[in-house]
Amino acid sequence: MEQYEVISMRQKQKLLKAVSLTVVSAIAALALLTGCGGDAGGSPTPPASSGNPASSTPSGGDGGSEPDPDPDPDPDEDKETLVTQDQIDWEYTTNGSGVTLTGYHSKSRSVLKLTGDVNIPETVGEGLKVTAIGDNLFRGCRNITKVTLPETITEIGYQAFQGCENLTSVNIPEGVTKIGSEAFYLCESLTSVKLPKSLTKLDQYGVFRSSGLTSIDLSGITEMGWAEFADCVSLSKVILSEELKVIPDGTFSGDEALTEITIPASVTTIETRAFDGTGLKTVHVPDTVKVLGNEVFAGCENLTEITLPSSMTEIPDFFLGATPSLKSVNIPAGVTKIGACAFLKSGIQKLNLPSGVTEIGERGFSQCMSLEEIYIPAGVKEMDESVFNEYNNNLKIYYGGDKDQLKYTRQYFSGYVSAPDWANKIEHKDTSPLSMLSLFSLF
């Protein structure tokens, strides 16, 4: 039977008393230094009279320190002891379907330090059914290694297992319909978990964030909250639901072991930083995706190939920033705007901007040191001076309009500025010499 360490209440009382005495001593010392109660600095303190409680001596005392209110004749009583699971009292509150576990202690009322395997009972008290794990119930229990939940559980609360860094196994019973935010945040040893069919929404924040998961089957999850699996650095395999519509902010951000993923045709929106900093190598974004947020694939250092949806009208800010392995990309014909830092520090070598592009954001191609050729259509009438900040000396900029009519701006500055040095790289071309460039043309 599993055993648990106990810290006695007597130990807690002694610790609190020691802290209290230290604080009182510090205050007394400060009073002497500042003249409080003396004749220096400020009004003198009136002398204590027999009616002044401050002058009283505790009963049985000698005028010195207060006697120990809890003498401890047994020196072994304060040592940590062990209890078995049947010696645990569970604290709970009632809910609509049963009770929610909110805390625990040993039956001797000592503070309990859980270790090893923990089995949650189906009932507590007088046969009350346990249906929920309360908020923060096992938060920071670093020595728990396994948790067994009864089939009666339908809800797991906010940060219920947060920081259980040695937890390697937990079952989520069929019947669970809700898991609270950060329930398994920082469970670094938890490498796998099976989600029940009853759970269709993982709609709270960061449920498995920074956990040790290596794979996860989300085929039954149709709705997710943001950063659910962010910073799961060992996560390498993910299966998404064919009914999923939105991949929220930061869902897989920082998952460097994630090298591939299939985005279902059901997805219509991919929000900011959904895949930034992942290990993705190739990505196909289906045409069903109509909304793409900023930084979606930023920092994907291993990305070599990406297919963008034909419905795309804008390359968002930082969208493909810091992608040094990406040598080429085919920009959809409907794109009219290149966002700020959209290709910052990317490995792009040649790029043909569609004829409909009219705007290029600040630092759009800054620090693209591999960029050799780019075509900019005549619809672009002005550019920020930082667009090609830090460029390849061999860079060729082909422009469909009159380069002498191009105007240059500076961020946060009203009006136009003189042409930057990279303007000397511009040469007029009525049509793009790169018009046949495709995603596979650079081998």
Residue with token string 């029940």: 196
Token output for 396:
């060729």
Longest dimension (CA), the chain: 105
Distance CA 161, CA 132 (A): 13
Token output for 120:
């949650």
Question: In degrees, to the nearest 5, what angle opens at C-alpha 409 toward C-alphas 336 and 321?
Answer: 55
Question: Which pLDDT does position 110 carry in this prediction?
Answer: 64
Percentages (nearest 5) of helix, strand, coil residues in the chain: 10, 25, 70
Dihedral angle over CA of 37, 39, 44, 46, nearest 10: 60
Question: Which pLDDT does position 184 carry in this prediction?
Answer: 98
The three-state DSSP-derived secondary structure of 395-441 is: CEEEECCCHHHCEEECCCCCCEECCCHHHHHEEECCCCCCCCCCCCC
HSE toward the beta carbon, residue 442, CA cutoff 13 A:
21
219 in Cβ contact with 197 (< 8 Å):
no
pLDDT in tens, the chain (443 residues): 444 444 433 344 444 444 444 444 444 444 333 333 333 333 333 333 333 333 333 333 333 333 344 434 333 333 334 455 667 889 999 999 999 999 998 777 666 778 899 999 999 999 999 999 999 999 999 999 999 999 999 999 999 999 999 999 999 999 999 999 999 999 999 999 999 999 999 988 999 999 999 999 999 999 999 999 999 999 999 999 999 999 999 999 999 999 999 999 999 999 999 999 999 999 999 999 999 999 999 999 999 999 999 999 999 999 999 999 999 999 999 999 999 999 999 999 999 999 999 999 999 999 999 999 999 999 999 999 999 999 999 999 999 999 999 999 998 888 899 999 999 999 999 888 886 544 334 43
Q: What pTM did the predictor assign?
A: 0.80
Question: Which pLDDT does position 196 carry in this prediction?
Answer: 98
The three-state secondary structure class of 233 is coil
